[in-house]
Structure 1
Amino acid sequence: MQHRKDGNFVIVKLDEGEDIIKSLEKVLVEENIKNGFIVSGIGAGVELEIGYLRGKTYEREIFSPPMEITSFSGSITEGDPKMHIHINAAGPDHVTYGGHLFSGKAKPLMEILLFSSESIKMTRELKESSGMRELKFL
């Protein structure tokens, strides 16, 4: 993994086999990013565990073959979970699957753009009505 910072932006390059979530968590620590956004991501991945929210629980499915990442974005907060990432990925038949990203690995690579917000502070708060840890501005 490589990453470079330019002002509030951080560009991350993941190499083949690198864990997407763990790599991003490492960048957040190294660059001291507590709040911000995952602006975009391109590349491809394998073993993508993608969830669809049905009520208060996620239906999860793992897509093992390599898939082209067609959309990748999310938020970064001080709360748990630290990142909330959504992904769309297409297989060789051009069918796209999407939802909440729980895990996956880059194959052969990913390029991700992060934005660090120094003035907007956010966390997550459990809302009983939705059963989810929702975004809350501090």
Structure 2
Amino acid sequence: MKYAATDEMIVLRLTHGEDIHNSISFVCKERDVDSAVVVSAAGMVTNVTFGWFNGKEYEKATYNNVMELLALNGNVSYKHEGIYPHLHAVFSRPDHTCLGGHILQALVHHNVEICIIPLKTIYLNREFDEWFEALAPETRL
């Protein structure tokens, strides 16, 4: 992994085999960022696990083939005393059909580039809302 960071932007370049969630968490911890917005990404992935929340748990589906990462967005918040990247993405297969949804895991195939905006004046916490642990944004004083 290579990355550059300022108060305005964090840009990551991930390499083959790296986990997208773990890489985002690592950089955020290293840069002391507990709240951020994931704004874009491009590259190739494999071993993608989607999660569909049915009200009680995530129903999972894993695709082990290589796909192109067309879009990635979400946020980084604080959950259970740790950094939580909440990510959604769209992937393209070789025949140009697409898969998308909530991502529980995705591994880099060769290269992925990610752009993240750290939040300084808003804190993204999570709290249980009788359904799941939803985003609970707060203004920092």
Aligned-partner Cα distance in 2 for 1:118–1:126: 24
For the residue of structure 1 that corresponds to 2:79, the secondary structure is coil
After superposition, residues 82-93 of structure 1 pair within 5 angstroms as 82-93=84-95
For structure 1, which segment, 4-13 or 47-56, has the greater mean C-alpha deviation from structure 2 after superposition?
A: 47-56
For structure 1, which segment, 2-11 or 79-88, has the greater mean C-alpha deviation from structure 2 after superposition?
A: 79-88
Aligned residues: 136
Aligned-partner Cα distance in 1 for 2:63–2:22: 18
Deviation at 1:121, TM superposition (A): 1.1
Deviation at 1:90, TM superposition (A): 1.1
Deviation at 1:78, TM superposition (A): 2.0
Question: Residue 15 of structure 2 aligns with which residue?
Answer: 15
For 1:112, give the aligned amino acid: I
TM-score, normalised with respect to structure 2: 0.90
Contact 1:51 1:102 in 2 (8 A): yes
TM-score, normalised with respect to structure 1: 0.92
Task: Quote the sequence identity (%).
Answer: 26
After superposition, residues 34-45 of structure 1 pair within 5 angstroms as 34-45=34-45
1:108 is aligned, of 107, 110, 117, to: 110
Contact 1:42 1:112 in 2 (8 A): yes
Please provide the CA RMSD for this pair.
1.3
Deviation at 1:126, TM superposition (A): 0.9
Contact 1:79 1:122 in 2 (8 A): no
**Unpaired runs of at least 5, structure 1:** none
**Unpaired runs of at least 5, structure 2:** none
After superposition, residues 1-138 of structure 1 pair within 5 angstroms as 1-80=1-80, 82-128=84-130, 131-138=131-138
